[in-house]
Structure 1
Amino acid sequence: MSDVQIRPVTEQDHAAWLPLWQAYLRFYKTELSDEVCASTWQRLLDPSETTNGALAWQDGKAIGMVHFIYHRSNWSIKNACYLQDLIVAPDQRGTGVGRLLIEHVYVTAKANNCDKVHWLTHETNATAIQLYERIAERPGYIQFRKML
C-alpha cells in the first residue's frame, strides 16, 4: 500500500470524488438530490465547516473516499469525530485502502484535538465489519432514529 496516498479533497477533485460518492449512495441503496450532493461537496471544501473529506489515490486515480465530521460531546471537553462515509473502489477492497482511510481519520482527528473517532455500518456489511473489529472496539450500542 506504499503507493497509495491519502489527502484531503480539493476543489480540483470533484470529478474524482463524485463517482465514489455516487457508488457509496448506491451501496446503501439510497438517492440524494443534486442539491444535497452539491451542498455536501461545498461543505467538504469550506474551512469553516466541521465536515471533512479525503481521497485515496493510486496511480493518479481516486480509489477510496472518507468523510468525517467533528462535533462536541457532553461526555468530554474535547471534540469527537464521526466517520460518516467510507468507500473503497470494488477492485481495491481487501487491499488495505479502507484501513488507510480510517487511519488517516484517526491521525487527523487527533491532530485536531478530538478524543475519539466513531462510526456506524449496516449490520449486513460483513466485509467492513471484519476490518472494523480489528481496528476499533465495538461498544454494543444500538442506533435508533426518527426521520423528521
Structure 2
Amino acid sequence: MPTQLIPHFSIRPVRDDDKAAWYALWRAYCGYYDVALDERVTARTWERIVSAAEPIHALIAYSEDGTALGLCNYVLHPNTWSDQTVCYLEDLYVAPAGRRQGIATAFVERLKAIGVEQNWFRIYWVTNQENTAAQAVYDPIATRTGYVRYEIAMNRK
C-alpha cells in the first residue's frame, strides 16, 4: 500500500494538554524497541518533560487534523569541552502514518533552530546500527562519527 502524503504537519514543544498524545506515541516507541517500562517511569518522564526545572524537553508533531504523528525527547546538559550547553536527542519516533513525510528531519531541523537561538555547542544522538531507515534520514543531515558506544548497566529499577 503506498504511503499517503500528509499535506501539512506542525512541530512544537509539548504542553500539558499533549499528555495523552505523547503517552500514545511513547508507548508505540517503546513497543518498537520491544521495551516494557514501568508506568511510574513513563509518568516520571512526562513530569520531567513538562517541568521548567528539569533539563528534559520534548517536541511533538501533529497533522492538520490534530493527529499526533511523532515525538522528539531531548536532554540539555553541560559538557567539559565548552561552556555552552549540549543537546542529547534521546528519543525520536514517528508513527507509521507520518513516516516518509519529512517529520524526522523536521524534528532535527527544529532542534537545530532552537540550538542556534539558545547558543548550544552541539546536538548529538545514537541509533541502533540495524535501524537503516533512521540512518537514511540522519546521514544527509548530520555527520556520522566513528565513536563506539559502551554502557554499564547500573541499579535499574
Sort the TM-score into its range (normalised by shorter chain).
over 0.9
Residue 73 of structure 1: aligned partner: 79
Residue 139 of structure 2: aligned partner: 133
Q: Does 1:83 align with 2:89?
A: yes
Q: Which whole-Å CA distance do the structure 1 matches of 2:45 and 2:115 have between them?
A: 19
String of CA shifts for 1:42-63, please: whole Å, max 9, x gaps: 0110011111001001121110
Q: Which whole-Å CA distance do the structure 1 matches of 2:93 and 2:78 have between them?
A: 25
- The alpha-carbon deviation at position 92 of structure 1 amounts to 1.6
For structure 2, the 5+ residue unaligned runs are 1-5
Residue 106 of structure 2: aligned partner: 100
- Displacement over 4 Å in runs of 4+: none
Q: SS where residue 114 of structure 1 aligns?
A: coil
Residue 13 of structure 2: aligned partner: 8
Count how many residue pairs are aligned between Structure 1 and Structure 2: 148
Q: Which whole-Å CA distance do the structure 1 matches of 2:37 and 2:104 have between them?
A: 24
Q: 1:118 is matched with which residue: 103, 118, 124?
A: 124
Q: Does 1:49 align with 2:25?
A: no
Q: CA RMSD in A?
A: 1.1
Residue 152 of structure 2: aligned partner: 146
Greater C-alpha radius of gyration: 2
Q: Which whole-Å CA distance do the structure 2 matches of 1:92 and 1:8 have between them?
A: 18
Q: Which whole-Å CA distance do the structure 1 matches of 2:34 and 2:130 have between them?
A: 13
Q: Which whole-Å CA distance do the structure 2 matches of 1:84 and 1:2 have between them?
A: 27
TM-score (norm 2): 0.91
Stretch of structure 1 that moved more, 38-47 or 106-115: 106-115
- Alignment identity in percent? 34
